[in-house]
Amino acid sequence: MQPLAERIRPTSLYDYIGQKHLVGEGAVLRKMIEGGRLSSFILWGPPGVGKTTLARIIANTLQTNFFSLSAINSGVKDVREVIETARKQQFFQSASPILFIDEIHRFSKAQQDSLLGAVESGIVTLIGATTENPSFEVIRPLLSRCQVYVLKSLDKDELLQLMHHALETDIVLKQKKIEVKEYEAMLRYSGGDARKLLNILDLVVSAEESNEVVITDDKVVERLQANPMAYDKEGEIHYDIVSAFIKSIRGSDPDAAIYWLARMVAGGEDPTFIARRLVISAAEDIGLANPNALLIANTCFDALQKIGWPEGRIILAETTIYLATSAKSNSAYKAIDDALALIEQTGNQPVPLHLRNAPTQLMKELNYGAGYKYSHDYPHHFVKQQFLPDALKDKVLWKPQENASEAKIKEIMNKLWEGRYK
């Protein structure tokens, strides 16, 4: 019998749960689908948020041919065969066939190169799915031909909606009388992953011999502990252990961090995958509290390339402990997110005239660059002037946090900017 997640996989946007920012009324992907004009794009998000399902729904809605490849077991030959088949089908329909590539981040450069011509000429419309940052994993020429849409983990309400939908519509679950008395454990273990939630629900229900099933938090914990999952770098537990690793570093627990590192090492995880996570953690969770952390994490990444395995585990361990025991700050992370939110709210504000470049005489006559004060011409290489757009001139985006490093920066900045940073 098919797993529950497959039995109730939606076939239309009407039944699709989550990602309202992309497929809700008036959202960008919804408009594209309803308009029948689809361009190539990449869906980036964690496991179990509906990337594959969304691709299939789009193909169903547009009534176009759908080809699917998995980057794990497909090569350049497979890609070329699909493209050739799609080329032959172009004469029979207006919309280009959709080529869906799951885990596109696992494609080599040669495999990704083999897609370029077909994507650019419109022989296929590419939909890629990835759990990894496309900026790092997808070659630039292919990335420039695709939009990137970010999918989010399902929130509590969406997960509950999914659970009730399964209980009400699945042909197997409807045969039993199921009462969900408590659901917090299911939500906690699923971690925003729809497929994992459905797997847990299926596991708990199928373990009951009676047709009357009462689901409680204790029962969920009991069933999951009775079915422990070994570490699988290709499976869902992979993401749980990586999450525990990063959260242990963020929580300044070196013992837990080194334990989860060991779990990944023992499970055969790709060392560069771990090193990349350390670089991200150094920037996101430590940041300006200890700027050296990013340098050390980046050096760790480089050293792994030179030294290899198994000695590389020592470099990873040293970096992990350093990051876990370092002071923490996410002020830079919050500042860029706040700035992006501000831009979305206020639009593209004009650059003040005195900050504009003036390479031509006409621009100078239009006062481009007029009144700009060159900082190095003033004492201490500083002069107070406006750098933000006029409408945002008093906006404060960076908010220093309580640690020794940022306290010093805050003190200096407040002397220069007359107490801007409270």
Average pLDDT over every residue of 304-327:
91
Domain that holds residue 374: 340-417
Burial of 215 from C-beta contacts in 10 A (0-12 / 13-18 / 19+): buried
pLDDT band, very low/low/confident/very high, at 16 (cuts 50, 70, 90): very high
Instruction: Work out the percent of the chain whose per-residue pLDDT is above 90.
Output: 31
Per-residue pLDDT, 421: 85
**Exposure letters 7-46 (e unless 16+ CB within 10 A, then b):** bbbbeebeebbbbeebbeeeeebbebbeeeebebbbbbbb
Q: Tell which of 85, 118, 150 closes a domain.
A: 150
What is the DSSP code (8-state) at residue 209? -
Q: Tell which of 324, 354, 381 closes a domain.
A: 324
Q: Has residue 389 been placed in a domain? A: yes
pLDDT for residue 300 is more than 70: yes
pLDDT band, very low/low/confident/very high, at 357 (cuts 50, 70, 90): confident
pLDDT band, very low/low/confident/very high, at 273 (cuts 50, 70, 90): confident
Q: For residues 124 and 168, state if they share a domain.
A: no
Per-residue pLDDT, 233: 47
Q: Tell which of 123, 150, 177 closes a domain.
A: 150
Q: Has residue 38 been placed in a domain? A: yes
**Residues 6+ positions from 343 with CB-CB distance below 8 Å:** none
**Residues 6+ positions from 322 with CB-CB distance below 8 Å:** 293, 296
**33, 55, 67, 122 from 64: Cα distances, Å:** 12, 11, 10, 14
What is the DSSP code (8-state) at residue 24? S
Closest CA to 185 of 166, 201, 167, 202: 201
**7, 176, 183, 184 from 206: Cα distances, Å:** 15, 10, 17, 19
- Per-residue pLDDT tens for 57-105? 998 888 888 898 887 777 788 888 888 888 877 655 567 889 999 888 8
Q: For residues 137 and 25, state if they share a domain.
A: yes
Average pLDDT over every residue of 311-338:
92
Q: For residues 215 and 307, state if they share a domain.
A: no
pLDDT band, very low/low/confident/very high, at 228 (cuts 50, 70, 90): very low
pLDDT for residue 151 is more than 50: yes
Q: Is residue 183 helix, strand or coil?
A: coil
The number of angstroms, rounded, from the C-alpha of 420 to the middle of its chain's C-alpha atoms is 33
Domain total for the chain? 4
Per-residue pLDDT, 226: 55
pLDDT for residue 14 is more than 80: yes
* Sequence letter at residue 14: Y
What six digits make up the tokens of 393?
A: 């001139």
Q: For residues 25 and 77, state if they share a domain.
A: yes
Per-residue pLDDT, 92: 53
What six digits make up the tokens of 180?
A: 């969900």
pLDDT band, very low/low/confident/very high, at 231 (cuts 50, 70, 90): very low
- Mean confidence (pLDDT) of the chain: 86
Closest CA to 36 of 63, 54, 17: 63
Q: Has residue 9 been placed in a domain? A: no
Choose from 71-75, 147-151, 264-268 the range with maximum mean pLDDT.
147-151
pLDDT for residue 205 is more than 80: yes
Average pLDDT over every residue of 214-227:
80
Per-residue pLDDT, 53: 93
Query: Could you give the CA distance from residue 387 to residue 22 in angstroms, rounded to a whole number?
Result: 34
Average pLDDT over every residue of 357-367:
82
Q: For residues 42 and 95, state if they share a domain.
A: yes
Query: Could you give the CA distance from residue 50 to residue 94 in angstroms, rounded to a whole number?
Result: 27
* Sequence letter at residue 53: T
SS (H, E, C) 319-336: HHHHHHCCCCCCHHHHHH
Q: For residues 411 and 292, state if they share a domain.
A: no
Q: Has residue 176 been placed in a domain? A: yes
Q: Has residue 231 been placed in a domain? A: no
Closest CA to 235 of 196, 271, 266: 196
What six digits make up the tokens of 78?
A: 């497979």
Average pLDDT over every residue of 43-49:
88
Average pLDDT over every residue of 109-135:
87
Residue 274 · residue 249 · CB < 8 Å: no
Question: Whose structure tokens read 């280009």?
Answer: 96
Given phi > 0 = left and psi -120 to 50 = alpha, else beta, which region is 70?
Answer: beta
Q: Has residue 65 been placed in a domain? A: yes
pLDDT for residue 128 is more than 50: yes
Q: For residues 80 and 115, state if they share a domain.
A: yes
Residue 109 · residue 83 · CB < 8 Å: no
Q: For residues 27 and 143, state if they share a domain.
A: yes
pTM exceeds 0.75 for this model: no
Burial of 182 from C-beta contacts in 10 A (0-12 / 13-18 / 19+): middle
Residue 244 · residue 257 · CB < 8 Å: no
Q: Has residue 232 been placed in a domain? A: no
Q: For residues 73 and 140, state if they share a domain.
A: yes
pLDDT for residue 420 is more than 70: yes
CATH of the domain at 171: 1.10.8.60
**Residues 6+ positions from 214 with CB-CB distance below 8 Å:** 179, 181
Q: Has residue 184 been placed in a domain? A: yes
Count the Cβ atoms, other than its own, within 10 Å of residue 213: 18
Average pLDDT over every residue of 153-162:
92
Per-residue pLDDT, 117: 87
Per-residue pLDDT, 149: 92
pLDDT band, very low/low/confident/very high, at 42 (cuts 50, 70, 90): very high
pLDDT for residue 337 is more than 80: yes
pLDDT for residue 3 is more than 60: yes
